[in-house]
């Protein structure tokens, strides 16, 4: 039976593609004809689709576990020496498998939507499922035609070429699934936007239904990006955590747009405003996810996170993206003018501030897009080669974030419709003053004063104190804030914590390249690093050297760090650096081995990164806040009678 696994996987994938393309057509016509029997097929179809793709995915996983090297994809990304956990993760360690994972997650989202939306209008639900099926179908087609993971080799390989050592890390197990959950999750809001535009009904109920899905997708994307950042931080071995690399930008742009979408949806839900804008954002957020897939998979931009690329695949994804996005933007151009908002609001109101948030986030998204695509555009016009890197993005992004963070301290405590300026200043004036004062003290305790670090820390404190004050005043009034409120404040405090991390680590990190022989020591940022010993090391599929470095401060031992240098048997020419990190709550001490010097001495890179962990703790808190908001009972209320 196991001999037929690749064929079984392929057949179920083919069946899934055919089914999804057909069911899309069926459901669209059902909604157009208002045929309730056709529309009722949405749930069973979503179920069948998921089952087929899951079967296909299970086949591929089994092939990896069984070391079936007669399958080209398995032979290229696994080996008998590869530990079992990585053999499972290797399923998405390459282009073909990661697309299959993408497809699987899309189908699971489709199923989740079909199962949990009994409150939704049947025609709208049919259209949502139809849109998602067609996306699944076209990506399945892409998979089948250009990158099937089930292709057999003419002569089975005796041993696999093994997974890229860079990917043999717990990061591979969780980072891609989370990231894809996020990307693909935005397809729900997208499908809702298309369905809503087609039926011409974009209203508060529509927004309320879209909100938890969007937030949940955003939670996944937040975690995915954060874990990717941590992974790059310890794996690449030079202590960087964000490079403004095209691949990072490809995930960051949907995140920024998705963040804008969550906030815009809140306004549409609560007040029925910004309808066409929210719809556009829903379309753009998922479009940016697709664009990210295109950028990463086509190789039109070069990235430090190496991905195999192939121009013929690039063309296919480009055509796919162009069709999906082009059609939806055309639909938007035709239908959106008819959408009207009726609610009124004053210049100082929650609505205006959410709008300001959206403007800033969208300008930020567009700027990142501009910087990412600029080298490509210049090259396409044959005007030469350019690089756009961190100096550009920092120069553009930071000035946009400062006003956003300021607004973030006011928005959540401002009432809908209108709020008196005097009341805001009375409530928040003190908070602002206290934040500035505390920020000066904080920065002073960490290192040299600078305007930017004080501003960053002050804004973070401003957000935190304002959120805490709001919660306190609600509790004092005897209210029990809804989960949505808790989640919102928690996520905002998460943003503040991340901002502190970014500000302080960028301003006060320090590093040294030293050469140490056993017994010798070097100093950095008050820490004393002593190389105790260095010796050989043997792993399951690699050989290496490991150093023991004692770290102490003021005579007290802090940690013993064991950085490694590994040479994987599958890639002898490419030694891997495994950095060792001591995670103190307030700073990281980071040690990486460079090259061996002479017989016993080692080149060692020492880093001190104050508050760097806060970047990711903040992201965790953002995700947690999002999860709590998703759990709010408001979203699970039965459909209100609209007529």
Partner 1 sequence: MSAARRFILWAQALAAALLLLATTLALAAPLPADEAMVDARLKAISRELRCLVCQNETLADSNAKLAQNLRREVRKLIADGHSDSEVISFLTERYGDFVRYRPPFKPLTWLLWLGPLALFSCGALMLRHIVQRQKQQAAPPPDAATAARIHALLAQQNKDTPA
Partner 2 sequence: MKKQWIWALPLAVFVVMVGFFAASLDKDPRELPSQRLDKPAPAFNLPQLANPQASFAPAQMHGQVWLLNVWASWCAACRSEHEIVTQLARHVPIVGLNQQDEAQAARAWLTELGDPYLLSASDDDGRVSIDYGVYGVPETFVIDKQGVIRYRHLGPITRETMQDTLLPLIRKLQA
| Closest CB 402 distance from partner 1, rounded Å | 12
| Closest CB 516 distance from partner 1, rounded Å | 17
Closer CB to partner 1, 386 or 430, in the complex: 386
Structure tokens at 214: 């969007």
Q: Is 643 in the site for partner 1 (CB under 8 A)?
A: yes
Nearest to 296 by CA among 288, 136, 360: 288
Nearest to 129 by CA among 42, 242, 254, 200: 42
Q: Is 54 in the site for partner 1 (CB under 8 A)?
A: no
Closer CB to partner 2, 385 or 477, in the complex: 385
Measure the CA–CA gap between 138 and 127, rounded to whole angstroms.
Answer: 16
Residue count, binding to partner 1 (CB under 8 A): 52
Q: Is 336 in the site for partner 2 (CB under 8 A)?
A: yes
Are the C-beta atoms of residues 20 and 35 closer than 8 Å to each other? no
Measure the CA–CA gap between 282 and 124, rounded to whole angstroms.
Answer: 16
Element (H, E) at 533: strand 527-538
Measure the CA–CA gap between 442 and 465, rounded to whole angstroms.
Answer: 15
Closer CB to partner 2, 60 or 283, in the complex: 283
| Closest CB 396 distance from partner 1, rounded Å | 5
Measure the CA–CA gap between 417 and 159, rounded to whole angstroms.
Answer: 67
Measure the CA–CA gap between 346 and 420, rounded to whole angstroms.
Answer: 10
Structure tokens at 505: 């680590």
Query: Quick one: which segment of 161-169, 281-289, 349-357, 543-551 binds partner 1 (CB under 8 A)?
Result: 349-357
Measure the CA–CA gap between 166 and 571, rounded to whole angstroms.
Answer: 10
Q: Reduced to 3 states, what is the DSSP secondary structure of residue 56?
A: helix
Triad 38, 40, 42: Cα angle to 5°: 95
| Closest CB 390 distance from partner 1, rounded Å | 6
Q: Which does 294 bind (CB under 5 to 8 A by kind): partner 2, partner 1, none?
A: partner 2
Q: Which does 322 bind (CB under 5 to 8 A by kind): partner 1, partner 2, none?
A: partner 2
Closer CB to partner 2, 242 or 294, in the complex: 294
| Closest CB 385 distance from partner 1, rounded Å | 4
Q: Which does 311 bind (CB under 5 to 8 A by kind): partner 1, partner 2, none?
A: partner 2
Structure tokens at 596: 């061996």
Task: Show the site string, 268-297: x = touches partner 2 by CB under 8 A, - = not.
Answer: --------x---x--xx--x------x---
Taking CB under 8 A as the criterion, the residue among 22, 115, 380, 420 binding partner 2 is 380
| Closest CB 245 distance from partner 1, rounded Å | 5
| Closest CB 294 distance from partner 2, rounded Å | 7
Are the C-beta atoms of residues 286 and 187 closer than 8 Å to each other? yes
Measure the CA–CA gap between 535 and 549, rounded to whole angstroms.
Answer: 12
Q: Is 362 in the site for partner 1 (CB under 8 A)?
A: yes
Are the C-beta atoms of residues 354 and 412 closer than 8 Å to each other? no
Measure the CA–CA gap between 575 and 571, rounded to whole angstroms.
Answer: 8
Taking CB under 8 A as the criterion, the residue among 169, 310, 346, 545 binding partner 1 is 346
Please give the backbone phi and psi of residue 308, each rounded to the nearest 5 degrees, phi first: -70, 140
Q: Is 158 in the site for partner 2 (CB under 8 A)?
A: no
Task: Show the site string, 302-321: x = touches partner 2 by CB under 8 A, - = not.
Answer: x--------x--xx--x--x
Closer CB to partner 2, 84 or 387, in the complex: 387
Q: Is 238 in the site for partner 1 (CB under 8 A)?
A: yes
Nearest to 510 by CA among 607, 613, 612: 607
What one-character-per-residue DSSP string does 73-110 give? Answer: HHHHH--TTS-HHHHHHGGGSSHHHHHHHHHHHHHHHH
Positions that interact with partner 2 (CB under 8 A) = 276, 280, 283-284, 287, 294, 298-302, 311, 314-315, 318, 321-322, 325-326, 329-330, 332-334, 336-337, 373, 375-377, 379-381, 384-385
Positions that interact with partner 1 (CB under 8 A) = 200-201, 203-204, 236, 238, 240, 243, 245-246, 272, 302-306, 342-347, 351-352, 355-356, 359-360, 362-363, 366-367, 370-371, 374, 378, 383-392, 395-396, 400, 594, 642-643
């Amino acid at each position: 039976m196991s001999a037929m696994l690749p064929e079984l996987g392929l057949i179920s994938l083919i069946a899934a593609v055919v089914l999804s393309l057909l069911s899309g057509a069926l459901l669209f016509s059902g909604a157009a004809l208002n045929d309730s029997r056709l529309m009722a097929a949405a749930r069973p179809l979503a179920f069948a689709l998921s089952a087929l793709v899951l079967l296909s995915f299970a086949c591929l996983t089994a092939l990896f576990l069984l070391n079936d090297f007669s399958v080209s994809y398995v032979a290229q990304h696994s080996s008998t020496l590869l530990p079992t956990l990585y053999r499972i993760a290797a399923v998405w360690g390459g282009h073909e498998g990661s697309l299959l994972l993408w497809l699987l997650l899309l189908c699971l989202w489709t199923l989740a939507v079909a199962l949990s939306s009994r409150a939704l209008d049947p025609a709208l639900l049919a259209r949502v499922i139809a849109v998602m099926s067609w996306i699944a179908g076209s990506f399945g087609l892409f998979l089948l035609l250009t990158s099937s993971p089930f292709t057999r080799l003419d002569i089975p390989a005796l041993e696999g070429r093994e997974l890229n050592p860079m990917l043999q890390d717990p990061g591979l197990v969780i980072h891609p699934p989370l990231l894809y959950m996020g990307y693909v999750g935005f397809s729900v809001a997208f499908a809702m936007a298309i369905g809503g535009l087609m039926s011409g009904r974009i209203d508060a109920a529509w927004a309320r239904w879209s909100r938890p899905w969007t937030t949940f997708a955003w939670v996944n994307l937040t975690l995915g990006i954060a874990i990717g950042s941590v992974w790059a931080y310890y794996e690449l071995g030079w202590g960087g955590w964000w490079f403004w690399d095209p691949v990072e930008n490809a995930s960051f742009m949907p995140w920024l747009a998705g963040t804008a979408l969550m906030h815009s949806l809140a306004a549409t839900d609560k007040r029925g405003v910004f309808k066409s804008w929210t719809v556009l954002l829903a379309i753009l957020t998922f479009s940016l996810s697709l664009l990210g897939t295109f950028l990463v998979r086509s190789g039109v931009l070069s990235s430090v996170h190496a991905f195999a690329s192939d121009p013929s695949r690039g063309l296919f994804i480009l055509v796919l993206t162009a069709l999906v996005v082009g059609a939806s933007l055309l639909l938007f151009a035709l239908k959106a003018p008819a959408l009207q908002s009726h609610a009124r609001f004053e210049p100082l109101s929650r609505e205006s501030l959410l709008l300001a948030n959206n403007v800033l986030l969208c300008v930020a998204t567009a700027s990142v897009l501009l910087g990412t695509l600029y080298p490509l555009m210049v090259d396409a016009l044959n005007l030469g080669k350019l690089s756009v890197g961190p100096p550009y993005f920092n120069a553009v992004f930071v000035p946009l974030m400062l006003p956003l963070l300021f607004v973030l301290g006011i928005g959540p405590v401002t009432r809908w419709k209108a709020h008196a300026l005097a009341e805001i200043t009375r409530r928040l004036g003190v908070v602002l003053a206290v934040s500035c004062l505390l920020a000066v003290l904080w920065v002073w305790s960490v290192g040299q004063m600078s305007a930017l670090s004080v501003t960053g820390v002050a804004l973070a404190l401003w957000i935190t104190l304002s959120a805490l004050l709001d919660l306190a005043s609600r509790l004092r009034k005897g209210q029990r804030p809804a989960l949505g409120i808790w989640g919102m404040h928690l996520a905002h405090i998460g943003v503040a914590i991340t901002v502190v991390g970014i500000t302080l680590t960028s301003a006060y990190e320090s590093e040294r390249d030293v050469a140490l022989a056993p017994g010798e020591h070097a100093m950095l940022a008050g820490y004393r690093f002593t190389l105790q010993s260095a010796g050989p090391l043997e792993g399951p599929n690699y050989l290496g050297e490991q150093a023991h470095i004692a770290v102490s401060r003021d005579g007290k031992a802090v940690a013993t760090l064991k950085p490694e240098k590994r040479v994987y048997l599958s890639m002898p020419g490419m030694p891997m650096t495994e950095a060792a990190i001591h995670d103190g709550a307030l700073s990281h001490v980071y040690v990486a081995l460079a090259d061996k010097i002479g017989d016993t001495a080692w080149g060692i890179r020492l880093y001190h990164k104050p508050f760097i962990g806060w970047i990711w703790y903040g992201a965790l808190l953002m995700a947690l806040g999002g999860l709590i908001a998703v759990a709010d009972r408001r979203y699970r209320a039965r459909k209100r009678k609209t007529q």
